[in-house]
Amino acid sequence: MRQFDLVGQGVKLILKENVLAVLSKAPLTTVSSAFHNGGGIKKTNVILNVEIPKSYSDSRLHDDPESFIVDSSKKLDLREGFVGMITAAAVENFALVSKSNGELSASVIATAADFEGNTCNHAESAGEAIKISESEGTINIIVIIDGKPTETCLVGTLITVTEAKMAALKELDIRSVYSGDEATGTVTDAIVVAETGRGIPIVYGGPASPLGQIVGYCTKKAVREAVMKAKECASNRSIFSRLRERHLSIERLAFELSKVKSLKADEKTLTICLTKMLTNDSSLASIVLAAAKMDEDVEKGLVPPEFGDVEAASRKFSDALLAKQTKSNAKALAYSAYSNEYDAVNMPPFLKQVLIRIVKSALSMEKAEIP
C-alpha cells in the first residue's frame, strides 16, 4: 500500500491494489458525477477511484457495477457512504498535482486510459454522433480544495475542471476516434470536487477566480500527465499517428491519390511512396501536417476572408511551401496547376494540393534516377 499527503490536515491518498482512495478524518463536502453515491451535494470521508480488472467484460460491469465497487472498497475495510468512480485505467499510473496560493490550496488526482493503456482509442468530441459497443476509456478526476467554497462555487469549480481537462487534451492534440475532431474527453469521464470546509466562504470558482486558477492549473497538468502515460497518447506521436487520428491514414490517402491518373501509380506504390517521404523528409512531414491543420479551418468555416477562394489559396499554399522541393519554379507551378482529374480525389483542398504535388515530384525523380 502506498500513501500520499494531500492539501488539508488529515487528508491523504491511498493506493492499494486496484483501489485509489482519498481518505479524510473530517467529512468532505462533494459535488460529482460519480456513479456511486454521486450527484448533488454529499458529505463523505472517502472518495474512491476503482480500477476494473481485465477479466470484467463491459456487459458484466454494467449489469452490476454497485457490487463491484462495494467489494473493492472492502480491501481498505471501508463502510458504505463513500463516493465512488470506476475506471479501466491502471490507477497506479495516477497523476497528482498540488498548488497553494496564500490561503487557497488544492490537490488534483487524475487517471486516464483503458485496459490496454490507451486514452486516444476512446476519445470523443461532445456534440458529435457516437456509436459504441464498449466504453472502456475513462478520464477520472478528483479535486480536493482546502477551503470553504459555497455550493454554487463548487458547481462553478466543476465547470472549471471540465474546461481544464479539455485544455489538456487540446494541448496534446488528442482526437475523437469517431470524427477526428479535437477531443473533449471520453464517453465515461467522471469528476469529483470536494472541499474541507475550512476558512472563510469562497464565492467564485470560475477560471478567472483565485480558486479557479489554482484548480485549473492543477487539473490541466494532472490530466496531461495522466494521458501522456497512455501508450498511444505521448506528445511525440509519429506523423502517421497524427494523421490517422484525423482519419487520414496513409492507406486512405494512397487510395484517393490513385484516382489521379496522371500519377500512373497504384495504391501499393503510392503507400510506399508516401511512407518513404514522410519518414525520411521532416520538412515534407511538417508541410503535410500544416496542410491538415489548414483544412480543419476550412471544415469549420474559419478561413480568413483575406485568403479569397479556398481552392486558389490551397494552390498558393503548396507553391509557397514546396517550391524548394522541386527542381525549378516552373516545374513547381506546373505541379500545382488545377486539373479536372483532381475533382475525383475525396480529400480536403490544402492536403490534396500538397500531396499530389509532392507525390508527382517524388515519382518523377524516381523515374529520372532509373538508367
Which tens digit of pLDDT belongs to each residue from 94-108?
999 999 998 899 999
* Residue 65 near residue 86 (C-beta atoms within 8 A): yes
Burial of residue 367, with CB atoms counted within 10 A of its CB: 0-12 exposed, 13-18 middle, 19 or more buried: exposed
User: Which letter does DSSP use for residue 79 in this model?
Assistant: P
With cell 476503482, the residue in question is 50
pTM (predicted TM-score): 0.88
Which of 137-146, 201-210, 232-241 has the lowest average pLDDT? 232-241
Q: Binning pLDDT at 50, 70 and 90, where does residue 370 land?
A: very low
Q: Return d(Cα 243, Cα 284) in angstroms, integer.
A: 13
User: Does pLDDT of 368 surpass 60?
Assistant: no
The set of residues, in sequence order, having a beta carbon less than 8 Å from that of 195 and lying 6+ positions away, is 28, 29, 30, 144, 145, 146, 147, 148, 149, 154
> Across the chain, what does the average pLDDT equal?
87
Q: Return d(Cα 285, Cα 119) in angstroms, integer.
A: 25
* Residue 14 near residue 3 (C-beta atoms within 8 A): yes
Beta strand 41-51 with 83-87: parallel, antiparallel or unpaired? parallel
Q: Quick one: residue 37, left, alpha or beta (phi over 0 = left, psi -120 to 50 = alpha)?
A: left
User: Does pLDDT of 72 surpass 50?
Assistant: yes
Beta partners for residue 202, in sequence order: 149
Higher pLDDT, 204 or 177: 204
Handedness of CA 57, 58, 60, 65 (dihedral sign): positive
Handedness of CA 95, 107, 166, 45 (dihedral sign): positive
Backbone angles phi, psi at 68, to 5 degrees: -65, -50
Q: How many CB atoms lie within 10 A of CB 251?
A: 15
User: Does pLDDT of 212 surpass 70?
Assistant: yes
Segments making up each domain of the chain, as ranges: 2-228, 239-369
The reported pLDDT for the residue numbered 67 is 82
Burial of residue 243, with CB atoms counted within 10 A of its CB: 0-12 exposed, 13-18 middle, 19 or more buried: buried
* Residue 289 near residue 239 (C-beta atoms within 8 A): yes
Q: Return d(Cα 90, Cα 115) in angstroms, integer.
A: 8
Q: Quick one: residue 264, left, alpha or beta (phi over 0 = left, psi -120 to 50 = alpha)?
A: left
Q: Return d(Cα 322, Cα 129) in angstroms, integer.
A: 37
User: For residue 319, how far is the Cα from the chain centroid?
Assistant: 33
With cell 467529512, the residue in question is 27
User: Does pLDDT of 258 surpass 60?
Assistant: yes
User: Does pLDDT of 322 surpass 80?
Assistant: no
Mean pLDDT, range 119-131, rounded to an integer? 81
Q: Binning pLDDT at 50, 70 and 90, where does residue 137 land?
A: low
CATH 3.60.70 fits 2-228, yes or no: yes
Mean pLDDT, range 68-75, rounded to an integer? 88
The set of residues, in sequence order, having a beta carbon less than 8 Å from that of 2 and lying 6+ positions away, is 14, 15, 16
Structural element, H or E, at residue 277: helix 267-280
Q: Quick one: residue 39, left, alpha or beta (phi over 0 = left, psi -120 to 50 = alpha)?
A: left
The set of residues, in sequence order, having a beta carbon less than 8 Å from that of 324 and lying 6+ positions away, is none
Percent of the chain with pLDDT over 90: 63
User: Does pLDDT of 111 surpass 60?
Assistant: yes
User: Which letter does DSSP use for residue 214 in this model?
Assistant: H
Q: Binning pLDDT at 50, 70 and 90, where does residue 328 land?
A: very low
Mean pLDDT, range 156-183, rounded to an integer? 94
Per-residue model confidence as pLDDT tens digits over 36-54? 988 889 999 999 999 988 7
Handedness of CA 226, 230, 233, 236 (dihedral sign): positive
